[in-house]
Amino acid sequence: MKSDFDLSAWPPPSLFSRRHFLRLGARLAGALALLPWVPGAAWAAALEAVFKERTVADVLKGLGDDIQSSDQITIVTPEIAENGAVVPVTVKSALPSTTEIYLVVEKNPNPLAAAFIIPDQTEPSISARVKVAQSSNLIAVVKADGKLYSATRETKVTLGGCGG
Amino acid sequence: MFRRWTCVMAATLGVAFVVPLQAEGVADSFRAKGQAKLDRLDQTDMQRICSGPVGMTVPDDVRARLQKTATDSVKFPAADRFLGKWEAGQKIAQTGTGMQSSDDPAVPSGGNCYACHQMAPTEMSYGTLGPSLAGYGKQRGQSEAMLKYTWTRIWNPQAHMPCSHMPRFGDAGILTEEQIRDVMAFLFDPASPVNK
Amino acid sequence: MNTIPRVVLRLASVLILASTPALTFAAEENLFDEYRQMMADDNPAQLAEMQGEEYWKTAGGPKKQTLQGCDLGLGPGKTQGAYAVLPRFFADAGRVMDLETRLIWCMTTIQGRDPAELSGKAFSKQGQPTTDLEGLTTWIAGQSRDRVLAVPVDQPQVRAAFEEGKRLFFYRAGPYDFSCASCHSQSGKRIRLTSLPNLTTHDGAVSAYTTWPTYRVSQGAARTMQWRMVDCARQQRLPELIVGSPVTVSLLTYLAASANGGKMAAPGLKR
Amino acid sequence: MGSPMKIRAAIKDGRTEVKVLISHPMETGLRKDSEGKAVPAHYITEVVARHNERVVLSAIWGPAVSQNPFVQFQFAGGAPGDTVSVAWKDNQGDTRSDQLTLA
């Protein structure tokens, strides 16, 4: 079995200089100081704090200021999910030079659910499944050509069952 | 227990009797767990009579007996206090746990009304085994007859509809008198979301 | 003489018509179709199937044997199509067995594993790994995908189990007075938003039986028909129904044979 | 070491579509077990997918990713005989890597 977990290739080197990364980096100087030469690990360490944020506003602030809404981002989720434990989501970006995709669930205790880095040769389209604690907006944040964009779609989740 | 039932069923209802498959007896297929002991497999008179297949028939005199037993079981609240707090009733209507082998017997049971009934029109997750109760109090008012009728329907549905599949919430001790008052308020209170 | 369930049905439908304007059940069920379609191709039950296949082929238990000598009714080691002709009578055991009961038998007799443990810990708790029995059952049921169900009701023992299962299906007991029929003898009904199959009709039995085992998204686990029996009994407020017990086999024989002629589509995906 | 992943990949029109199912409880740390005890958080934090040696997707996840996670993506290229590998690491230090050879 291939046991290594080689982070050295994360993320593409171009990401290093991006504004929001520096912003995160500044807030987490300690983490960066420990791992100054592994960009993937630093990105992960910086995001760790954003994953802990409790409100959408703080999550978005953590990802970077100046996020513009864009109709070039498509979010596909069922209008109504039978159970919030598994809600399928596809985020597709038509924005040129898309490098990152973030999934944010507005009403979850920790809204940031997942972050993806999209290398050059990979389509800016990701499907995943997330937990949605209650009917809520799903927000896709996309980084394209160094700038952040977002789109929002509501999904309903239902209660069910015969007993406990 | 099961075998006794099959014999009675065969005798009372004329259902074709088939020799039980397992010589060791069906109750051996269960084990006591938590609050659910093996005596729960024993049938009451009503349960035994109402265990026939779809299309089963029950003689009129047996129906009358079931209805009388159920009617006699109903205990109306002291001092005609039929209505409690609708907010508490709403919670009971939403709660599905209670009396399962996995439930803590110290925790009060829910009524799980939404499993089978529409109630507040704003709650979209409701079942359809029972009739819709949306607007229940608004449509019916709060006459003593209506309060008593509804109390009876909750306490022991067999009184009005023999072999109903709705639990006997009062008679079987699923809900307390206080809880039934709260559910009643959820149905009747003009401020309750049921009547909005 | 009155026909009780019909009376109940009629009264209930009158009440529903009287007090519920414009309810559209069909439309609400369609809402979930979109959800299920988005999931169906990539059913996490496949993870349980992988585990089951590996268990089947790997030597295990105190006797260090694989299950490849296990006869599921079509001959030792034959899994293709086996689920579609179960439950059936097994002469070596002297009784009718469904797949899971048979697997416990094989794991006991061939591998030397403890039947009480296999039955007592048959299902994974939330967040815990898939059990051997769950994996095996999901994989073997998947080996009958697209097969037509043909439970051998011509076997007298199977016929007897069917009749017993049918009777148990209507048996009301416990503080809530529930039988299986309380929830599963009317068509087009729901509990909360979940559709309830009418298991007393052929179509209802087919829609239910052919889609189990199933991945339950609310539990994050592949669940089997034995689990369904045991958990329905819990929700009926009955004592614990024992995995592989005669009552489970009889009920499953009734359900499976009622679905005869339907096409297997397991593993399914449910809420 | 976790349980095996289910990786599927298909080459189509010069692209390779990859679907991954991972066996993992993805515990949030907020759930209580049947005895009422809190179940500790246990979730995948990092995922890397490679086409041969080249990284084609990397991800950081929180506990809100569903149990038994699924992820699907497409990359340009891919030829029969190439490998697609996926590795994950969780917050308890467990890791797992699986790969398949493109057909």
C140 vs C25: which has the higher pLDDT: C140
Q: Compute the average pLDDT of residues B27-35.
A: 95
Residue-wise pLDDT for C238-264, tens only, equals 999 999 999 999 999 999 999 999 999
- Contact between A59 and A66 (Cβ < 8 Å): no
Structure tokens that stand for B139 in this block: 């449509």
pLDDT at C193 over 90: no
Residues of A in contact with B98 (CB under 8 A): 163-164
Q: Which residue of A has its CA nearest to B115?
A: A162
Q: Compute the average pLDDT of residues A40-60.
A: 87
What angle, 0 to 180 degrees and rounded to 10, lies between the N-to-C axes of helices C99-109 and C132-142? 120
Structure tokens that stand for A125 in this block: 């389209």
pLDDT over 70 percentage in chain B: 87
CA distance C181 to C208: 14
Residue A104: pLDDT band with limits 50, 70, 90? very high
CA distance A159 to A36: 47
Residue-wise pLDDT for D30-80, tens only, equals 888 877 889 999 999 999 999 999 999 999 999 999 999 999 999 999 999
Tell me chain B's radius of gyration from C-alpha atoms. 19
Q: Compute the average pLDDT of residues C186-212.
A: 95
pLDDT over 90 percentage in chain A: 55
**Across the interface, which of A76, A86, A159 has its CB nearest the CB of C217?**
A86
Structure tokens that stand for D51 in this block: 């086409």
User: How many Cβ atoms sit within 10 Å of the Cβ of residue B77?
Assistant: 18
- What pLDDT is stored for residue A40 in this prediction? 65
Residue A134: pLDDT band with limits 50, 70, 90? confident
Contact (CB<8Å) B125/A158: yes
* φ, ψ (nearest 5 deg) of residue C268: -95, -170
Residue C256 forms contact with A (CB below 8 Å): no
Candidates A81, D23, B141; CA nearest to C49 is: D23
CA distance B189 to B180: 14
pLDDT over 90 percentage in chain C: 79
Contact (CB<8Å) A123/D74: yes
Instruction: State the residue for tokens 């007991």.
Output: C173
- Contact between A3 and D95 (Cβ < 8 Å): yes
Residue-wise pLDDT for C228-241, tens only, equals 999 999 999 999 99
**CA dihedral sign, ordered C15, C18, C20, C26:** positive
Residue C38: pLDDT band with limits 50, 70, 90? confident
Q: Compute the average pLDDT of residues A79-97.
A: 92
CA distance C144 to A2: 35
pLDDT at A25 over 90: no
**Average pLDDT value over all residues in chain C:** 89
The alpha-carbon gap from A163 to the nearest alpha carbon of chain B, in Å, equals 4
Helix (H), strand (E) at residue C179: none
CA distance C110 to C61: 9
What domains does chain B contain, in order, with CATH numbers? Answer: 2-57 (no CATH), 78-195 (1.10.760.10)
Q: Compute the average pLDDT of residues C122-141.
A: 95
- Contact between C37 and C89 (Cβ < 8 Å): no
- What pLDDT is stored for residue D44 in this prediction? 96
- What pLDDT is stored for residue C32 in this prediction? 74
pLDDT at A17 over 70: no
Q: Which residue of C has its CA nearest to B97?
A: C235
Complex ipTM value: 0.82
pLDDT at C21 over 80: no
pLDDT over 90 percentage in chain B: 82
**Across the interface, which of A118, A123, A131 has its CB nearest the CB of D66?**
A131
Residue-wise pLDDT for C80-105, tens only, equals 999 999 999 999 999 999 999 999 99
pLDDT at C118 over 60: yes
The alpha-carbon gap from A156 to the nearest alpha carbon of chain B, in Å, equals 11
- What pLDDT is stored for residue C34 in this prediction? 78
- What pLDDT is stored for residue B22 in this prediction? 36
What domains does chain A contain, in order, with CATH numbers? Answer: 13-157 (2.60.40.2470)
Residues of A in contact with B124 (CB under 8 A): 158
Instruction: State the residue for tokens 């206080």.
Output: B178
Residue B13: pLDDT band with limits 50, 70, 90? very low
Fill in the amino acid letter for A24. Answer: L
pLDDT at C22 over 70: no
What domains does chain C contain, in order, with CATH numbers? Answer: 25-270 (1.10.760.10)
- What pLDDT is stored for residue A7 in this prediction? 39
Q: Say which residues have a Cβ less than 8 Å from residue C112's Cβ, sequence separation at least 6.
A: C61, C62, C63, C65
Contact (CB<8Å) B30/C241: yes
Residue A157: pLDDT band with limits 50, 70, 90? confident
What's the burial of A3, exposed, middle or buried (CB within 10 Å: 0-12/13-18/19+)? exposed
Residue-wise pLDDT for B99-153, tens only, equals 999 999 999 999 999 999 999 999 988 999 999 999 999 999 999 999 999 999 9
Residue D2: pLDDT band with limits 50, 70, 90? confident
**Average pLDDT value over all residues in chain B:** 88
User: How many Cβ atoms sit within 10 Å of the Cβ of residue B176?
Assistant: 13
Q: Is C70 a catalytic residue?
A: no
* CA dihedral of C267, C270, D2, D4, whole degrees rounded to 10: 30
What domains does chain D contain, in order, with CATH numbers? Answer: 6-101 (2.60.40.10)
- What pLDDT is stored for residue C177 in this prediction? 98
SS (H, E, C) C146-177: CCECCCCCCCHHHHHHHHHHHHHHCCCECCCC
Q: Compute the average pLDDT of residues C201-209.
A: 96
- Contact between A93 and A148 (Cβ < 8 Å): no
Residues of A in contact with C32 (CB under 8 A): 78, 80, 82
Task: Report the DSSP beta bridge partners of residue D87.
Answer: D48, D97
pLDDT over 70 percentage in chain C: 88
Residue A159: pLDDT band with limits 50, 70, 90? low
- What pLDDT is stored for residue C135 in this prediction? 98
Least confident of B21-25, B153-157, C20-24: C20-24
C5 vs D103: which has the higher pLDDT: D103
pTM above 0.90, yes or no: no
pLDDT at C27 over 90: no
